[in-house]
Amino acid sequence: MRSCLLIATMMLGAGLGACSQAPPAPAVSDSPAGTAPLAQARIQMREVAEDSRRPGVTTLKDRDGNALSLIEPAFITTADIAAVAVGSDGATGNGTLILRFTDTAAPRILAATEARVARRVALTIGDQVLNVAVIAGPFAQSMQVTGLDSTEEAHRLYTEVTGKAP
């Protein structure tokens, strides 16, 4: 099975962790402000349903090709994201995506992540599941997506969601 993926947050010193400790703070290679995502990017974070027969789920395949049932509606969407930037995972050197949330969305994201501590969530772009992780602690302002295969993958995803080269 593919090695575990990690989504780390940079808010309140807490994070989402799947397999290991959160990496050191990212080294941002783009401007700190980042670039707004395209409205059609379809970035979503949804809780993973432990029971695939549960009503109100969408089934997608994870990076290993396994069916993954995701609870609707998403608790983070593209509209909640103010900016996307490319960073670097201090542990692996691979590229990361840094998502900064809007001030309007932050209180709702904080409440949603507080309610989901110790639960599995999936971050998707379109119908592609990027990461599945366990929320280790609440966050509201921003998060870092790590566990990508390469810096090239981070750059490709950045271009896909912003329409711009990193």
Q: Does residue 2 sit within a domain? A: no
Instruction: Look up the domain containing 39 and give its range.
Output: 7-162
**Is residue 1 included in any domain, yes or no?**
no
In a domain, 33, yes or no: yes
* Amino acid identity, position 42: R
8-20: per-residue pLDDT in tens? 433 333 333 332 2
Mean pLDDT of 91-116: 96
Compute the distance between CA of residue 69 and CA of residue 50 in angstroms, rounded to an integer: 8
Instruction: Write down the residue that tokens 């593209």 correspond to.
Output: 78
How confident is the model at residue 124, as a pLDDT? 96
Domain total of the chain: 1
User: What pLDDT is attached to residue 25?
Assistant: 41
pLDDT of residue 54: 87
- pLDDT above 60: residue 7: no
Residue 72 included in any domain:
yes
pLDDT tens digit string along 128-147? 999 999 999 999 999 999 88
Per cent of the chain over pLDDT 70 is: 81
pLDDT surpasses 90 at 96: yes
Q: Which phi and psi (to 5°) does residue 143 adopt?
A: -150, 160
3-state secondary structure of 74: coil
Contact 118, 134 (CB under 8 A): yes
Tell me if 157 is assigned to some domain. Answer: yes
| pLDDT tens-place string over residues 30-47 | 345 799 999 999 999 999
Quote the tokens at residue 89.
């995972």
In the chain, what percentage of residues exceed pLDDT 90? 70
Residue 132 is predicted with a pLDDT of 94
**CATH number of the domain enclosing 58:** 3.30.1360.200
Residue 148: inside a domain: yes
pLDDT in tens, 141-165: 999 998 888 999 999 999 999 999 9
